[in-house]
């Protein structure tokens, strides 16, 4: 595991480069006791994430896993590795909506208990309370493990240690850059036919309802009015309204509409105002137009929304190298949401090879409860997850949902993280069935219950030979550090992660475990953090696995290619080299929900391997020198912690 | 001229807004003597610029002119105003290259004296040294007036006064913004059919040889190779080479070429290295490809370069609202350059309604002299200007140049401003005929002689009923403050102006005279000044007449729409409101070389008027509140200086 041992196998496809080696005492500036304590803590936290990841069929960094095995004096083997299972693209000529060959119904019985769906082989097993053998997690264990990791983020010696290692990583990269910048560039110049423009990039964090530009939405509305003015598009207070009537009611002439009057772009007014930001989703400040044009389930059966998304998809297919994973909402108000969503997907033929779908669940139990739509939190969870289990065990009964789920990457948890919660998750927290107050559960409570259902579901689906899902919540955009701890355990990867800059321990843990972070500096600039203060450059330099995503092109971007705009601005302002931006693009593919086959096609056959071996420069345009540096640096960081840890075991 | 008197006439089309009024002593914080001295200096400088502008048919700010007249106790009249004369677009169906109706030859005689072309009615007048009645400026007067303005930029009381006024302007705008932001936005939302995307924008500063994106150039080279591999495209050391042979010689396969190997993008390596920056104009680091693809006068007669530019033009015409003024080089090595350039323009049919042309003259006399291509500086000037006078007095003899000049906006002076010159311009400086040393003349010496020839030429052309030219040099990108003083007198508008941040007096003068400044923060970010340190936002806030331009899309930009990228990044990072960006776009049209007819079409019929009266919000999308604020603020600044000045007269 030492850099010298790995570099030999690499020699062949990695040019020699100038290495920075530090000799002498590895824990200078910190006492041995403190060092031991820090190493022990970090080791424990990594083991925990590994456990949680394996249960959920999430990827866990191979290098880190190898280190953990080695520290435990066991051997790592590829067979023990748990990997997600994503549906490959339909082959050319194959119908993506094909409903032949759907597996037989298993007629398993399903029942929610403590907010988690339990699976029973039959009625008898259900009666005897003998669930199918799947990992059913419990809130108590999670609460205890969460508090362990939380405690270590506040532990003095661990903080000092991580802070020093992060500073070291920063300085080391600066040296690497100075010494090897030209060597990296030279490698890239030699790569035939591949540059920043034709490496694959996935916009892994983008909301479907804002995935078009403001100008695109405007043009679409005007175009639609020309043909559909007399069509009934809205039902309001029992009255059926045509598009013409809607605009009369709004006192607007669609022809005169401008991006100014549309008013969906974030401005100075939205900074630190999530409420105003959310209101921007309403064109012309009117919820009517959002209802008509940006919803899947409305009077026109989501036809307009589907058309806009298909236009976005055609643009991506033309660009060839850009991909997106738009987020669609499932609220948990009613169990029908899934059927209506999958019907929308199938009816409007929304499949695109450049798209995979993410499901976002807004954390708005309190609103539903207040409106008396649901009796308790468990009901919301049931509405969200039970249909998925149903479609998994009885796919013949839920063909549309079965097909749609093939193209779903996973789940996101969304809302304003800066909202404070009075409740603090603990092992004494009420179970979802008992959560009947109008108060909203805290972030970690949501996260655990989504994660818990996803792992049961993934294990069940794996058994049935179906694709698994990733859990990829919004996390660390604002709010408490607990969010980042919860996601460290439960998430495959996260969106935002801004608050990692506030905790050296968590930042270092996200580094060691290489938890991917999809960052959106332009969105942050409009909402929570000025562009110049974004930690993205710092994170990238240190070696955290960061990527770039747009979040909401409709609200933040100006040009016809929002993802390119995001990359361009980052490259311009942070003076990123081609190697930097291509590394970011590679990270975005890795963390996406595209299939193993797609990833082999996009990144090279060995993409699962760590270090230069796993990199095909002809596809990624990332220099092998950079890959070797990242790999050796990570190995070095893990080994710095190792000897002390070995003593402890 | 007081705000109250102007506001009444405006009331009709300008909504009421919250005004900031300061009462009490207007020159607080500065002694009356100092104040008098400052006011006297500024007044004198403004009068000088007005004189120079009128001579050259440059625009001079009407409000400032009115103030000067009023301070001199005379009256301003529209008839006295001198305006440039630009050719309108050919009408629909009209041939832009039509050579009918070209005026008759006048057969005037021409002779260069002291580096300036003199015009004589006939051989007799030439013999008797009786030149045609035109304003022929002299270097001595310029040197003296330049040193006057230069001295006042270093004058203590004037510096203090200007510094205070600029601070005041900044703070006042901040207040205005806080108080009226929503009022401005409200106005814009009400404007039908007009938003940031469809207001006219002119990219007034862009070099033709880098006006395409790096990706565009790459694709063009690859496309050309597919059809033209066997075509002779280069003559090198007497050998004629096909495109195939050129690539063999470079050891490159065009198919494998990437933007990385093309290597025309500015990177970290170019910062503060104008030499490395210039080398980026050579694709693949090879001057051969520059010669073949980016030159007008080569073995393929500039066909490839013309094709690329026409592709750029088609893109602009499709966008409809974007315009550019690309710069083509005239070097002054030989008098044939103009004929070859205009032939290129006509042969390849390069006219586009979205383009006007600028001629850039690189300041590289020293190189030509060293290579013994010219005997003295006067010869270089003669090669540049004599053909223009020829074409003006004898258009029948120079039909192609005559036609091409219709579409030329004016002249630019370009090169690395940070290069130091040993010579200091003074009334004792040698005349161009005597400038025979290999040393390069200083910036001001170049500027004066270009300006001098342009004013003679413009007056002559005006007499002949032909269009005039603007002088729009690169200025203040780096180097001495003298550059900005020279241009303050001689330029219609300038590119860059970064160094204005170093001189409060000059900055305030550029404000009072409303000298337009085309800024390119992305270019600066790659070359001279980090984006975050760009003074653009500060200048805009104070009310300087700034616009955005791209400079070199091939070197700096990433997306397919470089001008939109430039606007988008500025808007994102500086949190510009729609009104801010539309004000910038309006400024860009004002300073461009598009015709009076075009400007009326783009900005409204009254665009020549100052203040809200001159603004047609339906075309510009600039709030009347903003226009009123700018106008009243400028009037106020001018009047602050007025009373003391009146005493002096």
Place of tokens 């590829």: A78
Q: Is the pLDDT higher at B526 or at B546?
A: B546
Q: Does A186 touch chain B (CB under 8 A)?
A: no
Q: Is residue B555 part of a domain?
A: yes
Complete edge-to-edge strand list for the sheet that includes strand B470-471: B201-207, B322-329, B357-362, B408-414, B470-471
Q: What phi and psi, each to the nearest 5 degrees, are found at residue B242?
A: -80, 165
Q: First CA to last CA across chain A, in angstroms?
A: 18
Interface contact flag, B189 A261, Cβ < 8 Å: yes
Q: Which two tokens stand for residue A227?
A: 């043909």
Question: Which one of A132, A496, A557, A631 is the catalytic residue?
Answer: A496
Residue A631 has what pLDDT? Answer: 97
For residue B215, what is the nearest residue in chain A, using CA coordinates?
A197
How many domains are there within chain B? 1
Please check whether residue A24 lies inside any domain of the structure.
Answer: no
More confident of the two residues B423 and B380: B380
Residues 112-151 of B with CB under 8 A from A: none
* Least Cα separation, residue B265 to chain A (angstroms): 10
Residue A272 domain-assigned?
A: yes
Give mean pLDDT, residues A227-247.
95
Question: Where are the extended beta strands (E) located within A572-632?
Answer: none
Binned at pLDDT 50, 70 and 90, residue B485 comes out as very high
Q: Do A558 and B564 touch (CB under 8 A)?
A: yes
- Residue B49 is assigned to a structural domain of this protein: no
Place of tokens 């789940």: A411
Whether B606 is in a domain gets the answer yes
B353 secondary structure, DSSP code: T
A3 has a pLDDT exceeding 70: no
What tens digit of pLDDT does each residue of B322-379 get?
999 999 999 999 999 999 999 999 999 999 999 999 999 999 999 999 999 999 999 9
Which of B37-60 are b and which e, b meaning 16 or more Cβ less than 10 Å from the residue's Cβ?
bbbbbbbebbebbbebbbbbbbbb
User: What is the SS3 assignment for A443?
Assistant: helix
Region A426-437 average pLDDT: 95
CATH number of B254's domain: 3.20.20.140
In 3D space, the residue among A593, A611, A134, A183 whose CA is nearest the CA of residue A407 turns out to be A593
For CA atoms B15, B16, B22, B26, the dihedral sign is positive
The reply to whether residue A558 touches residue B568, judged by beta carbons under 8 angstroms, is yes
d(CA A281, CA A416): 15
pLDDT of residue B642: 54
Residues 243 through 282 of chain A touching chain B, CB cutoff 8 Å = 253, 255-261, 263, 267-268, 271
Contact between B76 and B69 under an 8 Å Cβ cutoff? The reply is yes
* Model confidence band, residue B26 (pLDDT cutoffs 50, 70, 90): low
- For the cut 50, the answer to whether the pLDDT of residue A360 exceeds it is yes
CB B464 within 8 A of CB B103: yes
Structure confidence by residue, pLDDT tens digits, B270-327: 888 888 888 888 888 889 999 999 999 999 999 999 999 999 999 999 999 999 999 9
Contact residues on chain B for A564, CB-CB shorter than 8 A: 558-559
Q: Cα separation of B232 and B609, whole Å?
A: 55
**A575, B268: Cβ pair inside 8 Å?**
yes
Q: Which residue of B has its CA nearest to A575?
A: B268
Instruction: Report the DSSP pairing between strands A239-242 and A232-236.
Output: antiparallel
The confidence score (pLDDT) of residue A204 equals 98
Average of per-residue pLDDT across B403-416:
97
In B, minimum Cα distance to A188 occurs at B260
Tens digit of each residue's pLDDT (9 = 90 or more) over A129-181: 999 999 999 999 999 999 999 999 999 999 999 999 999 999 999 999 999 99
DSSP A620: H
Chain A hits for B558, Cβ within 8 Å:
564, 567-568, 571-572
> What count of Cα atoms within 13 Å lies in the side-chain half-sphere of residue B589?
26
Residue B32 has what pLDDT? 83
Average the pLDDT over each of A390-394, A420-424, B506-510 and give the range with the smallest value: A420-424
Can you give the pLDDT at residue B644?
45
Whether A577 sits inside 8 A of B621 (CB atoms) is: no
The pLDDT of residue B578 is 96
Give pLDDT, residue A35.
87
Asked if the Cβ–Cβ distance from A261 to B532 is below 8 Å, we say no
- Of B188, B189, B258, which is closest to A194 when you measure between CB atoms? B258
What is residue A11's predicted lDDT score, i.e. its pLDDT? Answer: 47
Read off the pLDDT band of B24 (50, 70, 90): low
pLDDT at B646 over 50: no
Q: How confident is the model at residue A25 (pLDDT cuts 50, 70, 90)?
A: low
Length of chain A: 649
What is the distance between the alpha carbons of residues B499 and B519, in angstroms, rounded to a whole number? 12
* Contact yes or no for A579/A184 (Cβ under 8 A): yes
User: Coil, helix or strand for A561?
Assistant: coil
Name the minimum distance, in Å, from the CA of A130 to any CA of chain B: 58
Q: Hey, are the CB atoms on B621 and A260 less than 8 Å from each other?
A: yes
Mutation to test the A interface, candidates B558, B559, B569, B575, most A Cβ within 10 Å: B558
- In a domain, residue B258? The reply is yes
CB-nearest partner of A531 from B198, B557, B572: B572
Is A399 among the domain residues? yes
| pLDDT range class, residue A277, cuts 50, 70, 90 | confident
**What's the pLDDT score for residue A33?**
86
What pLDDT band is residue B266 in, cutting at 50, 70 and 90? confident
Helices (H), B191-331: 214-228, 243-250, 259-262, 274-279, 287-293, 303-319
- Quick one: closest CA in B to A192, which residue? B256
More confident residue, A265 or A306: A306
The structure's pTM equals 0.92
CB of A318 within 8 Å of a chain B CB? The answer is no
Percent of chain A with pLDDT over 70: 96
pLDDT at position A267 is: 80
Asked if residue A455 is part of any domain, the answer here is: yes
Which pLDDT band holds residue A5 (cuts at 50, 70, 90)?
very low
At B647 the pLDDT is 40
Percentage of chain A lying above the pLDDT 90 cut: 86
- Looking at residue A8, its pLDDT comes to 39
Distance of alpha carbon B555 from alpha carbon B265, whole angstroms: 4
**Tens digit of pLDDT for each residue in A502-522?**
999 999 999 999 999 999 999
Give the mean pLDDT of chain A.
93
Residues from chain B contacting residue A253 (CB–CB below 8 Å): 192
Question: Which chain B positions have a beta carbon within 8 Å of A532's beta carbon?
Answer: 532, 573
Between A636 and A7, whose confidence is greater? A636
Is B43 a residue whose pLDDT tops 50?
yes
How far does A224 lie from chain B, in Å, by closest CA? 16
pLDDT tens-place string over residues B236-261: 888 999 999 999 999 989 999 999 99
Query: Which positions in chain A touch B556 (Cβ < 8 Å)?
Result: 572
* B92 pLDDT above the threshold of 90: no
Q: What is the pLDDT of residues B386-397, one digit of tens each?
A: 999 999 999 999
Instruction: Note if A423 is an active site residue.
Output: no
Domain encompassing residue A607: 178-638
Largest CA distance in chain B: 80
Indicate whether B7 pLDDT > 60.
no
Nearest to B189 among A190, A196, A263 (CB): A263
Interface of B with A in 576-635 (CB under 8 A): 577-578, 621
Mutate to test the interface with A, among B197, B254, B560 (most CBs of A within 10 A): B197
């Amino acid at each position: 595991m030492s850099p010298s041992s790995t570099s030999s196998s690499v020699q062949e496809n990695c040019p020699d480069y100038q290495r920075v080696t530090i000799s002498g005492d590895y824990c200078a500036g910190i006492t041995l006791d403190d060092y031991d304590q820090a190493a022990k803590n970090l080791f424990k936290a990594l083991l925990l994430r590994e456990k949680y990841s394996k249960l959920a069929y999430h990827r866990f960094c191979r290098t880190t896993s190898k280190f953990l095995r080695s520290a435990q004096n066991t051997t790592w083997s590829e067979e023990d590795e748990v990997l997600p299972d994503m549906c490959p693209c339909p082959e050319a000529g194959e119908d993506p909506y094909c409903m032949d060959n759907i597996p037989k119904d298993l007629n398993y019985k399903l029942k929610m208990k403590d907010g988690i769906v339990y699976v029973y082989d039959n009625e008898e097993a259900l009666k005897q309370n003998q669930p199918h053998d799947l990992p059913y997690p419990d809130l108590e264990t999670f609460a205890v493990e969460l508090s362990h990791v939380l405690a270590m983020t506040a532990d003095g010696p661990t903080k000092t240690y991580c802070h020093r290692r992060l500073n070291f990583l920063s300085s080391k990269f600066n040296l690497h850059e100075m010494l090897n910048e030209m060597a990296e560039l030279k490698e890239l110049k030699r790569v035939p036919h591949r540059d920043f423009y034709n490496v694959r990039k996935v916009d892994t964090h983008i909301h479907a309802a804002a995935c078009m530009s403001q100008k695109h939405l405007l043009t679409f509305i005007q175009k639609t009015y020309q043909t559909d003015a007399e069509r009934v598009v809205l039902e309001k207070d029992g009255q059926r309204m045509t598009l013409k009537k809607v605009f009369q009611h709004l006192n607007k002439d669609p022809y005169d509409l401008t991006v100014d009057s549309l008013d969906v772009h974030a401005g100075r007014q939205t900074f630190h105002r999530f409420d105003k930001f959310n209101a921007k989703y309403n064109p012309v400040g009117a919820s009517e137009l959002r209802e008509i044009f940006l919803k899947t389930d409305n009077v026109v059966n989501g036809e307009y929304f589907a058309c806009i998304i298909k236009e976005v998809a055609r643009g991506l297919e033309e660009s060839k190298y850009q991909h997106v994973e738009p987020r669609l909402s499932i609220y948990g108000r009613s169990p029908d949401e899934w059927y209506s969503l999958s019907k929308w997907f199938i009816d409007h033929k929304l499949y695109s090879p450049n798209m995979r779908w993410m499901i976002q669940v807004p954390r708005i139990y309190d609103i539903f409860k207040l409106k008396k739509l649901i009796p308790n939190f468990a009901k919301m969870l049931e509405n969200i997850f039970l249909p998925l289990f149903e479609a998994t065990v009885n796919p013949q009964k839920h063909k549309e949902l079965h097909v749609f789920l093939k193209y779903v990457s996973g789940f996101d948890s969304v809302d304003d993280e800066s909202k404070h919660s009075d409740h603090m998750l603990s092992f004494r927290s009420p179970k979802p069935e008992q959560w009947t107050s109008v108060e909203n559960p805290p972030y970690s409570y949501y996260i655990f219950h989504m994660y818990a259902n996803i792992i049961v579901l993934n294990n069940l689906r794996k058994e049935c030979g179906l694709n698994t899902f990733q859990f990829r919540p919004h996390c660390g955009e604002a709010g408490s550090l607990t969010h980042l701890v919860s996601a460290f355990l439960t998430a495959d990867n996260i969106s935002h992660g801004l608050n990692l800059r506030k905790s050296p321990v968590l930042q270092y843990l996200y580094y060691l475990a290489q938890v991917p972070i999809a960052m959106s500096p332009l969105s942050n600039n409009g909402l929570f953090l000025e562009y110049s203060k974004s930690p993205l450059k710092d994170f990238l330099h240190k070696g955290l696995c960061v990527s770039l995503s747009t979040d909401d092109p409709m609200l933040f971007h100006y040009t016809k290619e929002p993802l390119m705009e995001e990359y361009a601005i980052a490259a311009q302002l942070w003076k990123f080299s081609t190697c930097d931006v291509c590394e970011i693009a590679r990270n975005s593919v890795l963390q996406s929900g595209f299939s193993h086959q797609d990833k082999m096609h996009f990144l090279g056959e060995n993409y699962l391997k760590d270090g230069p071996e796993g990199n095909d420069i002809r596809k990624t345009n990332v220099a092998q020198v950079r890959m070797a540096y990242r790999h050796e640096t990570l190995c070095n960081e893990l080994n710095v912690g190792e000897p002390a840890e070995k003593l402890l075991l």
